[in-house]
Amino acid sequence: MNNKTINIAIDGPAGAGKSTIAKMVSKKLGYIYVDTGALYRTIALYITENGCALKNQNDPEKECEDDERITYIREHLRMAARLIRCGYNLKGYMYWNDADSYEELDGYNLRFGLTWVDHTTGERRWKKSRYYFSEICKSHLVN
């Protein structure tokens, strides 16, 4: 008696018909069909602490014009939207960090925040990226 287990995996791009072929092959061979993609779609995913660290320029005017951070946020949210369209159960996205803060390894050398902070006086200013992110949160649209 032969007790070998045989696993067959079919790979390819989304929409290529992998599941359809796999179901047909499993039926023809008398195997059990397991949709492993469905296993991943049952788990809720959250993107947490996703942020863009830019070098401290010690110039609030330059740092509040943070187009590089806007590009970073836009591209990450576009990828998140693609994951949702592909069936991933992505439930949330949290940007790190609201305001520039002290980082354990880099001190004040890097700035993550959507709000510029003068670490001497405590003055705060919204960066361009904060306005951008706020619009996305209100409209639920990524341009």
| pLDDT score for 70 | 97
pLDDT in tens, the chain (143 residues): 567 777 888 887 777 888 888 899 999 998 888 887 776 667 788 999 899 999 998 899 999 999 999 999 999 999 999 999 988 889 999 999 999 988 888 899 999 999 999 999 999 999 999 999 999 999 999 98
33 is written with which tokens? 């069909």
Domain boundaries, the chain: 8-42, 44-139
Distance of alpha carbon 63 from alpha carbon 110, whole angstroms: 11
**In sequence order, which residues have a C-beta less than 8 Å from that of residue 73 and are 6 or more positions away?**
52, 95, 129, 132, 133, 136
Distance of alpha carbon 14 from alpha carbon 140, whole angstroms: 25
Going by C-alpha positions, the residue among 52, 77, 76 that lies closest to residue 128 is 52
